Structure formats: C-alpha cells, structure tokens
Amino acid sequence: MKIGFIGLGIMGAPMALHLANAGHQLFVHTRSQVPEAIQAAGGVRCDNAAGVAREAEVVFTMVPDTPDVEAVLFGENGVAAGLKDSAGAVRKVVVDMSSISPMATKAFATKINALGADYIDAPVSGGEVGAKAGSLTIMCGGDEAVFERVKPLLELMGKNITLVGGNGDGQTTKVANQIIVALNIAAVSEALVFASKAGADPAKVRQALMGGFAASRILEVHGERMIKRTFNPGFRIKLHQKDLNLALQGAKEIGVSLPQTANAAQLMQACAAHGMGDLDHSALVKSLELLAGHTVSPD
C-alpha cells in the first residue's frame, strides 16, 4: 500500500520504519530531518501534510498534542487540503496515533468524514521500547469495517490491538491508561522513598516486592529506573502532564472527581517546575524526594 506518516519523533520514527520494512511505499512529513533508516527503506519526504495525503491511501499521524493534530489535519497545507485534492477509487483513511482530547477527536473525525475519508483514533502505549519492538498496545476508536482494513498495518506496530468503540473511544481508553500508569508511578515512588529513608536497601525491597501482590510492570521497569537513576526519556514528564490534564479536563466536563489523578498531576508539575519536564516520567520520584529531603539512591 501507499502509506503516509506524519511525525517522526521518538515514537513515530520506529513505527513508520516497521511499515516501510514490511514493503509498503512510505510518504513522510516531519518538522525535523527524516531519519536515515527511513530514507534507506525508501521513504519519500513530502513538503507538507497535504502532499502526504495526496499520495497515500492511509495517512498516519503521530504528533504531541491536540493543537498539533489540528494543525496537521486542518492547517495550511494540512491533510484536509490533500484529501480535497485527491481523486481515486480508494476511500482514504486517516489514523491518528497521537494521544489527544477525546472530544476534539470526535470533531476531527466528523470533519474528515465530510471530506469523503474515514478516521480512526489509535493512540498507543508502550513507549519508545514498544515502538522499536513493534509491541505497542493500540487502542482504537472508529467504524469496525475501517478498523479491519487498517488492522494489518497496526499489527506491524503493535501486539495488543483493540477496537474499543466509535471515534473518540480509543482516546478515552488512552486517557484511562495514563491515569493508571501515573498513579502506579506515584505509588512505587512513595514506597521506594519510604523504604530507602527508613534505612532499607531499595534494590532489595524492589526485588522482594516483585514476588508479591505489589508486583507490576511499573515496579519492574520504572522502579529500577528510580534506583539506578536512569531518567533518560522513554516517555517525558511533560507529555504525561498533558495526558493527565486531558483526564482532569474530561472529568470536569462529565462531572467526575479524580482526586488521585490530580495529585499525580501536581507531582509532575513540581518536577516540571524544577526543570525536569524532559526527563522520563519515572522521574516523578524526584518530586517526592524533594519533599522528603532524601533520594532513593545517590545520583
């Protein structure tokens, strides 16, 4: 197939490469330089998002936030302009794999549908490691027939791929995912700060807890990061902040209280205020270390 991919950052680049390596013809647009691996795999750079949409049957977007998606889709020389200019028997599909507002997603889908194309929201979980391994969890919203059409492409990038419901439901699922992840990171952070300041070896505490009911992927991966002080980003604090803000904004709209989510958001805000927004979200532990006047282990 002729595939378009817009956004070749930490996540987007390896995801696009999986599509190219599978033999699909790839048309790309990104604000930065196209990675050499994608060029070597035959990726063709387009001057703008409209150019990608003109060439491709399926257009993937992977950009940071709701305004970025809106600009890519409906800004000057955006995807919408390319869809208007396109002619052919194949109905095109836009697949947004960014993590953005569910409400905005529904509006975006309606506008894309009005241009004669289909829309799937397909945010992902798994970070840079999952993107490189092609093992992402992908949460989808949209028409079932359209989902089945693009599913073989999604399977090149992920392993756990679920159609949750209509447009916007994939993004709602991603927000729920980010709530769970943030609260787990906060819980592991509190536990390790407590154990370390009480005089226990945090590495051995983590090892013991991994064999019990407290075991989790967060304790396994991010707990190790906290102990080893490896906070190079797999998923940046400032991006997780954005997702928690989406959760709190959505909660306000539907009349739901999310007190623990609000607390986790404040801990991440504290990190950002101390210049740590570009660190991995496991660095949330640093906000609790500041409060305790103690680090889990030396930096």
Distances (CA, A) of 175 to 151, 153, 183: 22, 23, 12
CB of 86 closer than 8 Å to CB of 54: yes
Other CB atoms within 10 A of residue 290 CB: 14
Look up residue 279 and give its two tokens: 């660190």
- Distance CA(131)–CA(158), nearest Å, equals 8
Q: Of residues 84, 106, 151, 174, which has the active-site annotation? A: 174
DSSP lists the bridge partners of residue 5 as 28, 60
User: Tokens 């949750």 appear where?
Assistant: 164
Residue 141, φ and ψ in degrees, nearest 5: -130, 135
Q: Which residues fall within 8 angstroms of residue 253, CB to CB, at 6 or more apart?
A: 103
Q: What per-residue confidence (pLDDT) applies to 265?
A: 98
By the 8 A CB rule, do 124 and 136 touch?
yes
3-state per-residue secondary structure call for 197-242: HCCCCHHHHHHHHCCCCCCCHHHHHHHHHHHHCCCCCCCEHHHHHH
Rounded Cα distance between 227 and 173, Å, is 30
- Cβ-based neighbours of 255, under 8 Å, separated by 6 or more: none
Question: Which tokens sit at 103?
Answer: 């409400």
Element (H, E) at 104: helix 102-114
The helix, strand and coil proportions of the chain, stated in percent and rounded to the nearest 5, come to: 55, 15, 30
pLDDT 10s digit of each residue in the chain, 299 long?
999 999 999 999 999 999 999 999 999 999 988 999 999 999 999 999 999 999 999 999 999 999 999 999 999 999 999 998 776 657 999 999 999 999 999 999 999 999 999 999 999 999 888 999 999 999 999 999 999 999 999 999 999 999 999 999 999 999 999 999 999 999 999 999 999 999 999 999 999 999 999 999 999 999 999 999 999 988 899 999 999 999 999 999 999 999 999 999 999 999 999 999 999 999 999 999 999 999 999 88
Instruction: Give the closest residue to 206 by CA, choosing from 215, 232, 185.
Output: 215
Q: CA separation (Å) from 104 to 41, 79, 117, 138, 238? A: 34, 16, 17, 19, 20
Q: What is the DSSP letter of 280?
A: B
Which of helix, strand or coil describes residue 13?
helix
User: What CA–CA distance (Å, rounded) separates 111 from 80?
Assistant: 9
Catalytic residue at 174?
yes
Q: How many residues does the chain have?
A: 299
CA torsion through residues 202, 208, 209, 211, sign: positive
